Structure 1
Amino acid sequence: MKHVRFIAEGREQLGTVKDSIVLSLSGKPYTEDEIDVWLPPIRPNKVIGLALNYADHAEELGLQKPPEPVLFIKPNTSLIGHRGAIVYPDGATYMHYENELAVVIGKAGRKIRAADAFQYVKGYTIANDVTVRDFVHNYYRPPIRAKGHDTFGPMGPYLVDRDDVPDVNRLTLRTYVNGELRQEGNTKDLIYTIPELIEFISSFMTLEPNDVILTGTPKGISHIYPGDVLRLEIDGLGALENTVIDGRTEK
């Protein structure tokens, strides 16, 4: 099942999607064009990002595969939904997208074994870990300024139940900029798998319901600019679309 959060008729609502019809929990149907604002499909307690989790992406940055998962926290204030606007900030000359499979936690756990990890997963969605490379000086310790701006965390459009994604280890990711395919990869190439990530993170941090783990991006990042339209696709999870707008005070 596909779960959504949205604003329609002046209020925030929860619903499900089937055949492009959004059915609110109150039972009222909406077409997707009748949605005023798409929200991230869940309200995370925390968003845990992962850098350099595809070998080809590390290679394109001229970096070695990390000896352990490289983690950072993405602030909740960075989150926006499907069709929301990504703001191009002051000081940026190289801003790029990062198409990532996002794992949503379903129940609390600490020191979770990899063998049990999927029991703690609620479902999956698409995330765009927008990054300004000008602010990155050490990719093994990604600074919050590079990834934490408001609007730098598009997520959605749906939360898809875990059991409706039969092979999460074989999902193709594609990123289009203004209709041009810029990035393509597959989750089979993750350096650290989802169970390994859940085991590692929960070894020192309690994972709670609706926490989100961003699993990294494959090779294919490139510049984006104000006016660009991004479309991120992951097999079975739909397409996350956002437009870049200019937020610079000096142009």
Structure 2
Amino acid sequence: MQLCRFNEGRLGVVQGAQVRDVTEALDELPAYRYPLPGFDPLVAHLGEVMATARQLLPTAKVLALDEIDLLAPVANPGKIIAAPVNYLKHLAEAREDAEIHHRNQVGEIQRVGLFLKATSSLVGPSQGVALKHLDRRNDHEAEVVVVIGKEGRDIPAARAAEYIAGYCVGLDMTTRGPEERSLRKSIDTYSVLGPWLTTADEVPSDNGLGFSLKVNGEVRQQANTRDLVLGIPALIEMASSFYTLYPGDLLYTGTPEGVGPVHPGDVIDVAVEGLGAMQVQVRAA
């Protein structure tokens, strides 16, 4: 199933060029009192919501996909985890381009590990990217994103698939400079997630997903997850060896070579095989 959040927080099932409004399925979610949970309730109860959504489908209101505003399919991730330089050719370009590395040492992912992005940076495709620090280079980074489905710690790679709720298309924006990655990548709107959540049962294998990114129609990035330095199971193993993973946590798996600057007025298109495509407008903050 492909589930989207749209307009004012409504829930839809994507079927081709149409969306069926199944917002009533959200009634399956428990009511929480303060303190609120540190995980995403929709992902934590995805099975129940999907079951009710299937019952609602025959009579659900039908909307055109191109007439709705797509929000981030996961509204409340506890954390956004990201994998740096997880494609060898991107590691090489980062080391060679002074505008990327800014005299920072660019180490292999096996040595430098993962980093976190602020959850306040998360937006959906319709909200676009608002560039800050226009005197600096602001780069696009296309990524496949994994959505964690259940709580886990010290998860072995061989069992990682049990902890995946689904997958999304991701756009990880970054301001170049000497500061730490997590600061430069946590600006508001610099984590774009969309266009919907494709549940894990719809993806036969996440080792072989082709994806691409265009800016104003020009192809900038093109790669396949089979070329990841650390594959998705290994990333989940690494992340869970440092902190507990919770339903709705997002794992941005890394970007390939071809990263480059964007400017206000640009249009970014990101597509992942089997997961969909999203168009993102770029503006000044």
- 2:71 matched to 1:39? yes
Equivalent in the alignment of 1:151: 189
Per mean C-alpha deviation after superposition, the further-off stretch among 194-203 and 26-35 is 26-35
2:70–2:125 contact (8 Å) kept in structure 1: yes
Q: CA-atom RMSD, angstroms?
A: 1.4
Aligned counterparts, 1:114-129, within 5 A: 114-129=157-172
Equivalent in the alignment of 1:53: 86
Structure 2 distance, partners of 1:186, 1:221, is 15
Query: For structure 1, which runs of at least 5 residues remain unmatched after alignment?
Result: none
Higher strand share: 1
Q: Which has the larger radius of gyration?
A: 2
1:93 to 136, 146, 149: 136
Structure 1 distance, partners of 2:184, 2:213, is 20
SS class of match (1:150): coil
Closer, same or farther: CA 92–143 of 1 in aligned 2, 3 Å: farther
1:71 to 108, 111, 114: 114
Closer, same or farther: CA 92–12 of 1 in aligned 2, 3 Å: same
1:101–1:234 contact (8 Å) kept in structure 2: yes
Per mean C-alpha deviation after superposition, the further-off stretch among 77-86 and 58-67 is 58-67
Structure 1 distance, partners of 2:119, 2:259, is 23
Structure 2 distance, partners of 1:33, 1:66, is 38
TM-score, normalisation: structure 2:
0.80
Structure 1 distance, partners of 2:219, 2:127, is 21
Equivalent in the alignment of 1:16: 13
* Residue type at the aligned position of 1:235: E
Equivalent in the alignment of 1:222: 260
Equivalent in the alignment of 1:193: 231
2:131–2:282 contact (8 Å) kept in structure 1: yes
Equivalent in the alignment of 1:234: 272
2:220 to 155, 170, 182: 182
1:4–1:17 contact (8 Å) kept in structure 2: yes
Higher helix share: 2
Q: Deviations for 1:139-191, whole angstroms, at most 9, x for unmatched residues?
A: xxx43331011010111001101121112111111000000111111111101
Query: For structure 2, which runs of at least 5 residues remain unmatched after alignment?
Result: 25-59, 96-105
* Residue type at the aligned position of 2:267: V
1:69–1:192 contact (8 Å) kept in structure 2: no
Q: Deviations for 1:4-36, whole angstroms, at most 9, x for unmatched residues?
A: 0111xxx3211110021111114222112331x
